Amino acid sequence: MKTAVVGATGMVGKTMIKVLEERNFPVTELLPVASERSVGKEIIFRDKAVKVISIRDAVDAKPAIAIFSAGATVSKEWAPVFAENGTVVIDNSSAWRMDKNVPLVVPEINSHSIKKGDRIISNPNCSTIQMVMALAPLHKKYRIKRLVVATYQSVTGTGVKAVAQMENERAGIKGEMAYPHPIDLNCFPHGGSFQDDGYTTEEQKLIDETRKIFDDRSIMITATVVRIPVVGGHSEAVNIEFEKEYDIDEARKLISSFPGVVVYDNPALNEYPMPLLAHNRDEVFVGRIRRDLSREKCLNLWIVSDNIRKGAATNAVQIAEFMAENELY
């Protein structure tokens, strides 16, 4: 299966190539795609050097699949071009997520939304993916009425420039600023850009994407996104109000039995999810599972996952796997 990775030299693109290799995806030919300044450079795939090509050359090569992680602008322009040429596009940007004609997919939850003939499939935002993974079995059983979410997001979610800013600050080096403030020894409630209503685009994604993935517009959601100086993954404090009363032990079992989710929750031994635990892993870790004593039918969860892997690269490859296994190309 001829496979293009658009944005192959970026943080997520490199991980996509790594995950394709790790999961033995049936790539017959890899087409690493990047900007013109990177064309001709080499990346290693399955112990062989592969040259980076331009996006136009990738279109002309007619890959079966193109996994995009090059930003919304590139996706808006080029995803339809690939699609019209017969390629299935799995896009990691925000460009197509809320398009009513494009499935927004976390395979463990709503792979059924992909139909034969779909040519653009959207990968949700990283913070959305890990949250809905933990919430899906609870929503099915008890029906979620309202979510109150606070995120603690890794600098890797912003990209290599943000990681460099943090590392420079730790080393006392003046360098390019990816953020409007220092990030080391700091945190700030700012992810994406601010909207007229005072919420940020990252907060809006949590609201809109969760409703679309669960196919339930009735869920009330409010969110605050915070950037923190870590690299291992995103963390989320989530307060859930259910329509039905729940049993705490049953809720714990439902979460732990969901594929791809690990309950790591033993406060007596100081065991709870952390970015250090999640780093370079595909699981979504859930801990601090406890009843909200201030309100009926409410539950608190702490959710942590590597935002570059399950939050981006791995989820995209899982979509490709599902489509290949079900002959949806």
Q: Which residues are part of the catalytic machinery? A: 126, 234
DSSP state, 168?
H
E strand or H helix at 329, and its extent?
none
Instruction: Please report the sign of the dihedral spanned by the C-alpha atoms of residue 123, residue 127, residue 133, residue 138.
Output: negative
CB-neighbour burial class of residue 174 (10 A; exposed 0-12, middle 13-18, buried 19+): exposed
Structure tokens at 222: 């409010």
Residue corresponding to tokens 């489509």: 323
118/101 Cα distance (integer angstroms): 9
Name the pairing type of β-strands 234-242 and 220-227.
Answer: unpaired
Query: Measured between alpha carbons, how far is 86 from 103 in angstroms, rounded to an integer?
Result: 17
159-169: burial string, b at 16+ Cβ within 10 Å, e else:
eeebbbbbebb
Residue 258 gets the label, from left (phi > 0), alpha (psi -120 to 50) or beta, of beta
- The amino acid at residue 50 is V
Burial 230-242 (b: 16+ CB within 10 A, else e): bbbbbbbbbbbbb
Element housing 240 (H / E) = strand 234-242
**Residue 91 contacts residue 313 (beta carbons within 8 Å):** no
Q: How many helices (H) and strands (E) does the chain have?
A: 10, 13
**Phi and psi, residue 145, nearest 5°:** -95, -45
Q: How many other CB atoms sit within 10 Å of the CB of residue 54?
A: 15
Q: Is residue 252 within 8 Å of residue 161, measured between CB atoms?
A: no
Which stretch of DSSP H or E encloses residue 256? helix 248-256
